[in-house]
Amino acid sequence: MVTIHHYMVLSAVLFFIGVFGVLFRRNLIVIFMSIELMLNAVNLSFVTFARYTQSMDGHVVAFFVMALAAAEAAIGLAILVMIFRNRSTVQADDLSLMRD
Amino acid sequence: MEQYIWIIPFAPLFGAVVNGLLAVSNAGKGRVVSERLVSFIGCAAPFVSFVTAVGVFFHLRGLPEAERVVSQSIFPWLVSGDLQVDFALMIDTLSMVMVLVVTGVGTVIHFYSIGYMAKDDGYARYFAYLNLFMFAMLVLVTAKSIPVLFVGWEGVGLCSYLLIGFWYKDIKNAAAGKKAFIVNRVGDFAFLIGIFIVFVATLKIGSPTLDFVELRRLVSEHPEAFAGTATAAALLFFIGATGKSAQLPLYVWLPDAMAGPTPVSALIHAATMVTAGVYMVARLSYLYLESPAAMAVVATVGTVTAIFAATIGICQRDIKKVLAYSTVSQLGYMFAAVGVGAFAAGIFHLMTHAFFKACLFLGAGSVIHAMSGEQDMLEMGALAKAMKRTAPTFVIAALTIAGVPPLAAFFSKDEILWSVYNAGVGPSWLPGLLWVILLAGAGITAFYMFRAVYLTFFGKRRYTDEAAHHLHESPAVMTVPLMILAAGSVLAGIVGIPAVLGGSNWFHRYLQPAIGPTVHAGEAGSHAVEAVHGAGHGSTGLELALMVLSVAVGVAGILLARHLYLKNPAVPGRIAERFEGLYRLVYNKYFVDEAYEASVVRPGYRLSNTVLFRVIDVAIIDGIVNGVGVFARLVGSAVRLVQTGVVRTYALIFLLGIIYLIYRLAG
């Protein structure tokens, strides 16, 4: 029997994979994908709770997050393309202009 | 009439603003603005004040004696808690006399300035300052409360500074202006504390006020409340007066103030501003009457100053310096008078002094003008032949100051001497001693004045042919004012002919409502005045005898000067050689300036340079200011380490923050 706990654990695992991806990967595209992973982990828990409480609220928020993720992907990828064109790299550590 | 009082001070202010703008627009372009326009505005302004003042005078005459006061509030100025001080003007009989003297003599001197200052680069600036001075002086004498008086008091100080240093390109003139300003600052500080003391005293009664009329009523109704504070306040105000009116020990600025243009010396440093202290004591007569100790101090300081300055006057060579010390000395007489409670006598002498001393100064200005700037009397002599109008007026004014009857100062000086003789201040021996000193001072005054007359106008010619070539009598615009003032010196005494000579002493009665405790307590008031004044003690015969004595002393002084400086011009030099030490002491003005230099200026300079500059300014104040900057930089360089520029570091900190927040919220 798959219970709510399984979903919760899966969601937490996915979320922390995302977090560690953001923290420790250097390639901006991977960081980007890790963010998407975190968003979807959250989505999973929303949908899980919606089912559990028999309410539509969680589904609504999940759709909002998807729409937001789509928008973010569009803008984020555009920025990435621009960065690559200007600096020929997508390594996060090379982009420390603000410090100097 | 009351609604027009504001015109009296504000007409000159208008003149000052217009001429000031003309001067500014003219700056650095030489003389572009027409002198005629400037002098028209400059002279019309005080003249308008004078005409208004005459109108107010006749309005006052139409009122019953006890109600001779008009006032006008212009705007509420200081409002704080229960205290309200309006910028209000008031003219009672005392102010009236002062306003007429200031505007009358002031207008004449403005006209004289047209001739004296002609072709000066700062012509418009000069008239702007002079009109500004008239404004401040008129605010001072028409003020209805102590703070407004103080505004005028500071205003005349400022204008005095500006005009002493008028030819500021010569560093000596600028230094003289600074000296006047700083010495006055010492007195003004005491004056301010005096104001606070009076305010606290009225606050304790429950009706805080600084209004002269209210204050007078309070002092009359609650004399016990002022018993402790009257002496302190009166003495502090008097210290202010010693600064403004050049009395010991703060007189040192006045002789140096002669660096200014001569009409300025006549108007500010002889006729009007320096008498402000005398006016202030008379204005606060009710306060001074509460403190016999303060009165005794005023009388003593005045008397000592009178003889002290008169002796210095004997040995001066600069004609303006002689007149400056003479002014200090004559102011001493006025303070002696108000110090013994003879306020009317003091103001009377103030008025006559304004005429004859202005005449003397303007006469000296005319001489200096004729001699192309020479001020040393030993380089003059025999000018009477060349200056047919200046010389007679100068001699008339000199006779007046010497106290020759029936000229004005004979009456005023004699009233002072008589009041001092009968005074009831201090220990019983004090009035007699003061009287002897003042009598001797009168003799010395006659002597040094006629020394100046003989050295300047008579005897052998001592100036060079070069100077003789330029020698000329001054134009009418300068000699007519001299004649007006000489006429004033002759006639001004009429208003105060004492009863013993068949007069009614109109002046004394005219001032009565404005002096002493409140008008309504008039009876008690005149008793209080008489208690100090001691009027009516001496007999008529004695009064006449003393009068003859003082005239004799004056004439003796004149004859001695004639003997030494006209008949035997070699004698003074021999006397000086004989008593070389004494001569040097007096010639160098008792080394007072040097003593101040050593005891106040140098230590002050050293204190400023070591403690104030190096410790307080550089170490403490700069230390704090720079410290703030250094601190900010230190914090910045510590905190900037956080700013790595690596996105992942930020994300880690972000994550740790969130974990901490969740922990707090869940915990």
Domain locations along chain B: 355-587, 595-666
For residue B640, what is the nearest residue in chain A, using CA coordinates? Answer: A99
Give the separation between CA A43 and CA B232, rounded to whole angstroms. 87
Say whether pLDDT at A88 is over 50.
yes
- Kindly state the percentage of chain B with pLDDT values over 70: 96
CB contact under 8 A, B655 and A99: no
For residue A24, what is the nearest residue in chain B, using CA coordinates? Answer: B648
Give the separation between CA B201 and CA B191, rounded to whole angstroms. 15
Query: What is the DSSP code string of B493-514?
Result: GGGG--GGGT---HHHHHHGGG
Q: Is B517 helix (H, G, I), strand (E, B) or coil?
A: coil
User: What is the CATH code for A27-92?
Assistant: 1.10.287.3510
Mean pLDDT confidence for B534-555: 78
Mean pLDDT confidence for B406-416: 88
Say whether pLDDT at B259 is over 90.
no
B276-306 pLDDT tens trace: 999 999 999 999 988 888 999 999 999 999 9
| Residue B428 exposed, middle or buried by CB count within 10 Å (0-12, 13-18, 19+) | exposed
Say whether pLDDT at B527 is over 60.
no
Long-range contacts of B219-225 (CB under 8 A, 24+ apart): B219/B286, B219/B287, B219/B290, B219/B517, B220/B286, B220/B517, B220/B518, B220/B521, B220/B524, B220/B525, B223/B290, B225/B201
CB contact under 8 A, B645 and A97: yes
Contacts of B652 in chain A (CB under 8 A): 23
Distances (CA, A) of B200 to B194, B204, B295, B556: 10, 6, 22, 52
Mean pLDDT confidence for B547-573: 86
CB contact under 8 A, A98 and B651: no
Residue B177 or residue B644, greater confidence: B177
Q: Inform me whether the C-beta atom of residue B651 falls under 8 Å from chain A C-beta atoms.
A: yes
The sign of the CA dihedral B314, B317, B323, B324 is negative
B446-486 pLDDT tens trace: 999 999 999 888 888 888 887 788 888 888 888 899 999 99
Mean pLDDT confidence for B119-134: 89
pTM of the full structure: 0.80
Contacts of B648 in chain A (CB under 8 A): 22-24, 26, 92-93
B39-51 pLDDT tens trace: 899 999 999 999 9
Q: What pLDDT was estimated at residue B514?
A: 84
Least confident of B327-336, B402-411, B496-505, B613-622: B496-505
Contacts of A96 in chain B (CB under 8 A): 644-646
- Kindly state the percentage of chain A with pLDDT values over 90: 67
Pick the closest to residue A46 from A61, A68, A67, A66 (CA basis).
A61
ipTM of the complex: 0.79
Name B60's Cβ contacts closer than 8 Å, sequence gap at least 6: B68, B69, B70, B91, B93, B96
Tell me the nearest-neighbour CA distance from A31 into chain B, angstroms: 10
Q: Inform me whether the C-beta atom of residue A30 falls under 8 Å from chain B C-beta atoms.
A: no
Alpha carbon dihedral B403, B408, B412, B417, in 10-degree steps, equals 20
Q: What pLDDT was estimated at residue B634?
A: 94
Q: What pLDDT was estimated at residue B592?
A: 84
Q: How far is CA B343 from the centre of its chain?
A: 17
Pick the closest to residue B204 from B40, B326, B82 (CA basis).
B82
Mean pLDDT confidence for B625-646: 88
Listed ranges B167-171, B622-626, B640-644; the one with the highest mean pLDDT? B622-626
Nearest to B645 among A23, A31, A98 (CB): A98
Say whether pLDDT at B426 is over 90.
no
Give the separation between CA B199 and CA B206, rounded to whole angstroms. 11
Instruction: Return the bridge partners of B85, or none.
Output: B78
Give the separation between CA B437 and CA B194, rounded to whole angstroms. 30
Mean pLDDT confidence for A83-97: 84
Extract the tokens encoding B406. 């029936």
Q: How confident is the model at residue B518 (pLDDT cuts 50, 70, 90)?
A: low
Q: What pLDDT was estimated at residue A99?
A: 64
Q: What pLDDT was estimated at residue A98?
A: 65
Extract the tokens encoding B650. 């930020």
Least confident of B54-68, B241-255, B288-302, B577-591: B577-591
Q: Inform me whether the C-beta atom of residue A17 falls under 8 Å from chain B C-beta atoms.
A: no
SS3 content of chain A, % helix, strand, coil (to 5): 85, 0, 15
Q: How confident is the model at residue B32 (pLDDT cuts 50, 70, 90)?
A: low
Nearest to A19 among B644, B647, B655 (CB): B655
Contacts of A24 in chain B (CB under 8 A): 648
Mean pLDDT confidence for B498-515: 81
Distances (CA, A) of B311 to A92, B44, B259, B322, B589: 95, 40, 22, 10, 9
CB contact under 8 A, A23 and B652: yes
Contacts of A23 in chain B (CB under 8 A): 648, 651-652, 655
